[in-house]
Structure 1
């Protein structure tokens, strides 16, 4: 700020300086207006949140990159200083999922995203850690509650009602400030968690319309004033203390001392009561013969009554036969289409995950008409198998119509490079700049004129069908939409003169495979904590591809050579989006004898999210043992890493012998054991027994939290430094 000079200056000079001062003030004010007022972590989290919500137009002022939520007053966002403290976006018709890094919002006290269409997958584990109010009511979340809720002691209000959640993986011991808990209208089953008894401040608990079983005795000592457990499968007596609650609803259970159900109101046509006469009669009492009636009339009445009864019986038999015939015919027709009603769960609502399973099974057993429809459906060069997984074959579904997907390169947020520039940067793609070769082409180091270093992938389209340029346009459009800190970041592309090139950020540490398996001693750079860090980051990337992207992306070729490491040993998964567009057989052949293939892939050639989970388990084994996934130089019984290691994962003595010698015995025994437990689940031979990636992430997060517990009293202090060691 310019100050006025002393009074001995001339008035003209004073006036000139005053004008200059005013101009400087205005300039400073204008500069402040364009300078971001928001904490950079909060901006990053909200950018990602906006992207995973599919960039909805109703969130005015929100942007997918940079921006200033506090300075620009983004809709629904409230700030205190430079920090975001509340997000209220209820009832806005939003779709997609919650962001994958909301844990960066460390000052957020309230998140209200209720009454939208979010979900279709688990609630992410990385919620804002210091929330006081979390409301996700009336959305489409499925699966398991994230364990991270267990470590949110500031939480006072938690409403997850009206979703399709089915499992509670939360310990409530630390949630002593929670006053309101709503789990109503979900798919929870089993007995109430024992840790419910620790909710010492809980006044409102809504559990209605679930499938909880057992008793409610553990709620006895809670300070409840509003309890609704209606329409579950609770049993046993209602504790006397709970009966005194002012607002108590318990109907629809099997409590032994619950109030009798209310009497059914009389209908307009009440059922006929049996006649007090010893002779059963289905006729009205007015038709009964009087004492003065002669025997002839009585006999006639009896015959008429008998004929009526016989007619009714015959009618019932005929109707029953017709009903049985139609039901059997309907069952026969349904069984031909793979839809046996006796195998359906009529009483259980269908979750999105179950719907997806039914659609997939339905696509496998298509009728001839369905096969013709599959033949006509088109998504450019995507294989029909992908359409089967993500298309409904309901004849009323408008998505059944043939679709031709076109991507405009001008709409892609990535740099369009010239072939000449990339040729100069790679010295005409010389062998000296070759840094790798994979299933989809060779990768070259490129140094641009501005000294920027890139990794340029030269796509090999020799094995692909016609129109490779169209294929490449779709590929670039898909990859450019991916955004996660543990994915290899697309910098640009080139589509000129028949060349199809992708430019990525260059990661100087190379691949995890090279760091682990090249005999130059580099594996000693990987401490135990850095290995856990790599596993966790890679798991988060797979979780994003499987459970955040819509439609989900199956990687198919997850392996250590596709995990690139930056200077801080953060993992970045490469080749994302490639395998999803290339037929299964192509990937299968290119991956022969690699050791990463799940057993079902070997047998059927079909990949799934669970086959990715298996491959991830193999990479974890590489991190633990330092061995290759398949090593022909080993004795025959040890060539396959999974077959050799799996029987030893639960034997602590054998486990110690398996650990990579490069670690020189420096690792926590409990951390090693939990790491091995996660591996054992991932490499299960049966895909249905492997966990989803969100559960794998939660187990690794828990492993890190327990390893770091007690290292510092500071909140959020458990992190990794550049060497990968916890601090």
Structure 2
């Protein structure tokens, strides 16, 4: 008996030490399992993964590519599997994931805002991701490796790198990113490798001067200015830019001399030492018995012998039989490892003029090289993706096709009596049908969509018909007939927010504070849906109070959603109507609209709700004509803030709620787009505002307390 007890004690002791495995129920965390199911569905349920259709325990069932620790998923590595679809919207619940590798697939859409928050290595390279680099990366403080190369990302780099001090490798190569490099790059204290080649970056690279970089590739951008002295002694690739010629201007007085970081970097030969410069030769070198001329002779001899050997090897390999060459075409392409040299040549197919399709020559190494995830892909290593052929767009089945005759009858032949408003893309009419249904019909101007662009219009309709959100105006139908292009939307009884704020009539009451907060929150949720849920992201481009429609309960509905994003010349049309006070500063300079410019415009709408003023009002004194310019300096001064509140509120508002509302406005209307928050953070801030003010849904959002009466049908002015 005593011997048995000793054996039990030893067994338990060894088990605690990990020498004998104990079988424990490893049921996967439900949140992790649910997130992987959403990911699986978003990727079109790929059969090549072999994940069980009804499986709900990735850790115990050992799903392919999934690594667990205990009951938590810690790694998702699914590279090179031909995966399609998107990454879904629920990855943020995977809080224990430290490595997410989805590289070398065919995934598309925008990179989701909801990424694993504690990931250390994120590799999404060589896919078809579009849109901007998501701002949520700014908060991934554990990141050491980030590779988004070889995608279709565009827009300015709005990520704030201040918290990414652990990041050592950054690869954004082969995208269409534009704008200047962000000033927050200076916070990348651990960065050693950076690939920015083949983008459209502008400005100088001065912001990189103080970083401890060992490798930097900025080829084929639009950089200007001089290359900082600190970057001239590293592995720098810089061709294909508009660098300034001549000597650089002297540094400002008091600037310390340019020095590189003393951090030790490995050279391409694998040595862990920094290569000494000629000027820094030690006394030991001088005392050696070998003169400089002898060393030079030895080096030259070695180079000559090496060249002769290489020549005969190349000649020998070029005589391989054609059967070996044919086998090369059947091999999967893989990026070359950074520590190996593989010869790869490409010849353009002569039978297809002006194409970018390449085939490997006979000198291609027949042994597939190992994949090095830390190396940026070059154009010679991967054949370019084929040009996307525009496919024929079929009419959407989930919306109604109306005839011109039906719409003419319903709108009184588009008479002035039925006119609700006029926006940037056309006029909106009230349409009442024989069955009593009332809808809003938008007649798009021929200058926006010419008569011969019917196929483009069907594509616009198809895209808009996919937008479904409680705070987004629903598309009901369309008409494309006799060169006319019309959109039919749901109708909202109470008209637009612009009318409520700026065109009151004798039947309406001013909006109370709770209703204003409700409208701001609902509109923010609509934008969050467009920016961060839709794939690809939808930039609205035309956020203004006239495009926020109110229903009977004063719930907001954002109109024009998706319209400006898909009309070919929408940016030019909107720029012609500039000067309304809603445009972000960068839009006025570049004419380009982004997710961040939407955030700015939303901040202006919030200012309207707070002050009751128009974004630009020429009837006011010059210092007060621009609402943002006049209001911004006062947003953090509680005394000044209470004076700028809409007089129609008659002081009936919680002061703390007002102050927090102003704080959100200040964030949204910042002049620098990279510092504006994403809409999901705006939504969270407004939700917290409501919760802190203890505004329950019943007392705040109920139909018994609208803060404004309904308007007559003919007094509405919807601008969609």
The aligned counterpart of 1:251 is none
Task: Indicate the SS of the match to 1:708.
Answer: coil
The separation in 2 between residues aligned to 1:680 and 1:89, in whole angstroms, is 50
Match for 1:675 among 661, 676, 682? Answer: 661
Aligned residues: 443
Task: Indicate the SS of the match to 1:694.
Answer: helix
Report how far residue 399 of structure 1 moved: 4.8
The aligned counterpart of 1:311 is 294
Q: Please, which runs of 5 or more residues in structure 2 have no aligned partner?
A: 1-33, 67-71, 103-109, 124-135, 147-160, 167-187, 191-269, 271-282, 304-353, 357-376, 708-720
The aligned counterpart of 2:702 is 721
Q: Contact (CA 8 Å) 2:112, 2:533: kept in 1 or not?
A: no
The separation in 2 between residues aligned to 1:183 and 1:307, in whole angstroms, is 48
Give the alignment's TM-score, normalised by structure 2.
Answer: 0.51
Report how far residue 319 of structure 1 moved: 9.4
Which structure has the larger Rg over C-alpha atoms?
1
Task: Indicate the SS of the match to 1:461.
Answer: coil
1:56 and 2:54 are equivalent in the alignment? no
**Alignment root-mean-square deviation, CA:** 5.2
Residues 660-708 of structure 1, C-alpha deviations (whole Å, 9 max, x = no match): 1121211111111111111111111222222222222222222222222
Task: Indicate the SS of the match to 2:693.
Answer: helix
The aligned counterpart of 2:649 is 663
Report how far residue 638 of structure 1 moved: 1.1
In structure 2, do the counterparts of structure 1 residues 682 and 504 end up closer, same or farther at CA, with 3 Å as the change threshold? same
Q: Contact (CA 8 Å) 1:412, 1:480: kept in 2 or not?
A: no
Q: Contact (CA 8 Å) 1:488, 1:504: kept in 2 or not?
A: yes
In structure 2, do the counterparts of structure 1 residues 168 and 502 end up closer, same or farther at CA, with 3 Å as the change threshold? same
The separation in 2 between residues aligned to 1:52 and 1:484, in whole angstroms, is 24
Instruction: Map 1:191-210; keep pairs closer than 5 Å.
Output: none
Report how far residue 55 of structure 1 moved: 8.6
Q: Please, which runs of 5 or more residues in structure 1 have no aligned partner?
A: 1-45, 60-73, 79-85, 95-109, 150-157, 171-181, 192-210, 214-266, 268-279, 283-301, 321-371, 375-391
1:548 and 2:533 are equivalent in the alignment? yes
The one of the two structures with greater contact order (alpha-carbon pairs below 8 A, sep at least 6) is 2
Match for 2:475 among 480, 483, 490? Answer: 490
Report how far residue 564 of structure 1 moved: 0.9
In structure 2, do the counterparts of structure 1 residues 408 and 51 end up closer, same or farther at CA, with 3 Å as the change threshold? farther
Report how far residue 628 of structure 1 moved: 0.8
Give the alignment's TM-score, normalised by structure 1.
Answer: 0.51
Q: Contact (CA 8 Å) 1:143, 1:166: kept in 2 or not?
A: no
Report how far residue 132 of structure 1 moved: 12
The separation in 2 between residues aligned to 1:92 and 1:314, in whole angstroms, is 57
Report how far residue 91 of structure 1 moved: 6.4
Residues 188-231 of structure 1, C-alpha deviations (whole Å, 9 max, x = no match): 7579xxxxxxxxxxxxxxxxxxx999xxxxxxxxxxxxxxxxxx
Report how far residue 418 of structure 1 moved: 2.2
The separation in 1 between residues aligned to 2:355 and 2:598, in whole angstroms, is 29
Report how far residue 113 of structure 1 moved: 12
Report how far residue 138 of structure 1 moved: 3.7
Instruction: Map 1:248-647; keep pairs closer than 5 Å.
Output: 306=289, 311-312=294-295, 315=298, 399=385, 401=387, 403-409=389-395, 411-464=396-449, 467-520=452-505, 524-580=509-565, 581-583=567-569, 586-647=572-633
Q: Contact (CA 8 Å) 1:414, 1:490: kept in 2 or not?
A: yes
Residues 223-249 of structure 1, C-alpha deviations (whole Å, 9 max, x = no match): xxxxxxxxxxxxxxxxxxxxxxxxxxx
Q: Contact (CA 8 Å) 1:121, 1:142: kept in 2 or not?
A: yes
Instruction: Map 1:140-155; keep pairs closer than 5 Å.
Output: none
Report how far residue 420 of structure 1 moved: 2.1
1:701 and 2:687 are equivalent in the alignment? yes
Task: Indicate the SS of the match to 1:552.
Answer: coil
Task: Indicate the SS of the match to 1:420.
Answer: helix
